[in-house]
Structure 1
Amino acid sequence: MPEDFHDDLPDDDEFIPGTSTAFLGNSWIDRTRDAAHLNWGPSYQAIYQRSDGSALACFAWQCRQVAGRPSLMADWFAWSRSLYEERYDVLDDMPNCWVIMRVVIIHASFEEGAQTGLFGLLGDATVQIVSVFDREKIDAFYDFADEQNSQAFSVTRFSHTTPESWKQKLEKGAKSARISEKVLSKMHPAIMFRLCTSRCNSPTEKGPSAE
C-alpha cells in the first residue's frame, strides 16, 4: 500500500500484527476496485500473542477506503468473545461482507488458469472469492482442482459441502461469538480459491501437498 495510506487511521484503530509479514513495503492500491481482506483471526492472536491494537477496527477502517466487497476469515465466528478481547462493535457499521469458510489452493500454471476463465483472462487474478450459493461456479473450481490434483504426487479430493451447511456453520459460530443478528445479516459465506503457480505439489518438485 502507499506509505501514506494509513495516515488518517485513528489511533484507536491502529493494528500491528507483529508477524514476519507485518511490513510489506510499498505497493499500489486502486481504491475504486480493490477490496479489503482480513486474514488475521483470534487463533493468530492466540499463537503470536504480540499484536497491538484492534484487527477488526483497522479492517473496518480499510473497508471504508476501498470500494470492493470486504472479506474476513470464518475464524472470527468460531471463537467465543470470552476467549478473545476485540472491538466487535465496529462490525455494526460494516457493509455486506464475505466470510471465508474454506480456502482451496489449486496448483496450476498461469496458462492453465487462464484457459479455464476462472482466474481472469490471463490467469492473473489468482485469488477468487465465490459465494457458496453459486453452485455452478463452485463446481467448476472444484473440477479444475481435482483435475490438477490428479497429476500431483499427493491427491486431495474436496468435499462438496452444501450451501445450507455452510450457512448453518456460520450462524452457529456467530451465535457462539455473540454476534448480533444485524451483523450476521450482512455476513455471507464464501469459498476462497487461490491459484498457486509454483508447482509445489508436482511429482518433480518437493513441496507441501495440495490443500
Structure 2
Amino acid sequence: MNNNSFHYFPRLPLELRRLIWKLCLPHRIAEEDTPDFLLDGNESRQACYGDRITHQNAQPPTIAFVNRESREVALENGHRLELDDTTSLAAIWVQPRRDVLHLNWTRLRYIVWGNADDPASPIAMYLWRAEDLGMQPSVVAEIIRPFSLKALFDHPDGADACDNPWFLYHRSRNQEVSDIAYCAESPSFSRLDVTMSAVSLHITRKTALRSGLFGLLGDAPVQMVDVGDEARLKEFQALYREYALEKEPAVQTLFETFTSPRFQAAVQAWKSQAELLILAYMWRLARRDNLDILGTNPGSAWLPQLPEQAFLGMPEYLPDAEYSPDERHPWVKQARESAPKLRPRIMVRYCTNECYIKERLPSNFGTF
C-alpha cells in the first residue's frame, strides 16, 4: 500500500488502520523446502526452478517493511520458524492462524542424493510441528502413493497414474504412510492436504500483483486449488493465457488436463487407494499395540479374513485387491472415522525466472 495515494490514511483511527494492515496480510502456503520434483519437467513437461520463489515465500509479508505500525501487525500474526530438521530451508516465516504448512519432500530425494537406503523420513517431525503450531498440514501425493501425470500424457488411451515404484519403500515398508497412520489418532489431525501436481505461471511480479490471485500485495506466490475447483483454475488459466501463452504454450495442456474427466477420475482412484493404504498401516499399528477393539483375531477386520497369526504384507497386497477392509467391522468403522481426510489439490506458483528459457535452469535440473 502506498500512503501517498491516500493522504487521509494517517488520520484514520488506530483501530481502523490496524484492521486495514491486517487485511493486507497474505494467506500463504508456507513451504519448508523446494518443490524440485514437482517442477522438474519429467512429470508435467514444464520445468521450473522453484528455489527462488520458495525463498521469497519464506520471507515476512510486505507490510512488515512499510512502517512500525504495520510491522507490529505482521509480528502479531506471524513469526520466524527455525527448521533444524528440514531437508531444505533453515527458517521460514509462518502465520499459524492464516497459513498452510507444506512439505515438498519425497523419498525420491534420497535417490538423487545417492542414499536410497536411508530409512529416515521428516514426515513425523513435520506433522508434529504442524500440530504444535495449529497449522493445516500439506504434503505431496508421492509420499503416500505415486501419482503419474506422465502416464496420463504418454498413454491417452488409458494408463494407470498410480504406479508403484520401488523407491517409495524401505525394506518393504512405506515409512511415510506409517508415520501418517501413527499420527492419525491425534484429534487435531483431521485433514491432510495433498498436492497432486503443480504448474508455474512465468509472469512478472507486477502482473502477479495486478491479478490479485497471489495475495492482495502479491506476496503469496504459492497457491493451492482444490482438484475439481474448475472456476478457480480458470482464473489462473486466464492469467496464463493473457501473459504467458505465446512464451510457454505447453502449459495449456496442463490446464486442460487438470479440468479433464480423465484427470478427475485418476485423482479419485489415487485417493481411494491412498486411503486404503493408510487404513492398512493403522491396522498394523493397532495389531502391534493389541487394541481391544480388534478383538481376539485382528484378521477379522479384513475380507477374506486373515489367519490369526498372519501379517498383511506391504506393499505386496495393498492397495491391490487381494484383501479389502470389512466395512462392517467396528475397528474399521472407527479407523475410517479417525483417519485424516485427504484433500487433493493442485499447486499454482508464479515465477519470474522465465524457466522456459533452457539457459535459466541449473545445468543438472530435471535429469533424473
Q: TM-score, normalised by structure 1?
A: 0.73
Q: CA RMSD in A?
A: 3.1
182, 193, 203: which one aligns with 2:348: 193
Asked if structure 1 preserves the Cα contact closer than 8 Å seen for 2:221 and 2:350, the reply is yes
Instruction: Check conservation: 1:74, 1:99, Cα contact below 8 A.
Output: yes
2:288 corresponding residue in structure 1: none
Amino acid in the other structure paired with 1:66 = L
Which residue is equivalent to 1:161? 260
Is the contact made by 1:107 and 1:199 (CA closer than 8 Å) also made in structure 2?
A: yes
Query: Do structure 1's residue 73 and structure 2's residue 140 form an aligned pair?
Result: yes
2:110 is matched with: 45
1:56 counterpart residue number: 123
Q: CA deviation at 1:91?
A: 3.9
Partner of 1:90: 182
CA distance 1:30–1:207, shift in 2 (3 Å): same
Question: Which residue identity lines up with residue 56 of structure 1 in the other structure?
Answer: I
* 1:36 matched residue in structure 2: 101
Output the CA distance in 2 between the equivalents of 1:55 and 1:29: 18
Tell me the CA shift for residue 137 of structure 1: 0.3
Structure 2 Cα separation of the partners of residues 141 and 116 of structure 1? 9
Structure 1 gaps of 5+ residues are 7-14
- Does the 8 Å CA contact 2:190/2:338 hold for their aligned counterparts? no
| Deviations, residues 153-172 of structure 1 (Å, cap 9, x unaligned) | 66432223344542222223
The residue type equivalent to 1:75 in the other structure is: E
1:119 aligns with 2:214: yes
Cα deviation for residue 129 of structure 1 reads 0.9
**Match of 2:96, as an amino acid?**
R
Q: Tell me what 2:200 maps to.
A: 105
45 and 176 in structure 1: CA distance in 2 versus 1, 3 angstrom threshold: farther
Report SS of the residue matched to 1:36.
strand
Rounded Cα–Cα distance in structure 2 between residues aligned with 1:135 and 1:207: 31
The count of aligned residue pairs is 193
Q: Deviations over 1:10-46 (max 9, x none)?
A: xxxxx564xxx3xx34554333323321111232234
Q: Tell me: CA distance 1:129–1:89, structure 2 relative to 1, closer, same or farther (3 Å).
A: same
For 1:168, the aligned partner's letter is A
CA contact (8 A) 1:108 1:196 kept: yes
8 Å CA contact retained: 2:190, 2:339: no
Distance 2:126 2:86 in 1: 12
Partner AA of 1:192 in structure 2 = M
Q: Which amino acid aligns with 2:350?
A: L
**TM superposition shift of 1:179:** 5.8
Instruction: Provide structure 2 residue ranges, at least 5 long, that are not aligned to the other structure.
Output: 1-79, 147-167, 283-335
1:124 alignment partner AA: D
Would you say the 8 A contact 2:203–2:244 is kept in 1? no
**Segment of structure 1 superposing worse, 29-38 or 53-62:** 29-38
Closer, same or farther in 2 for the Cα pair 1:2/1:16, shift >3 Å? closer
**What SS does the aligned partner of 1:143 have?**
helix
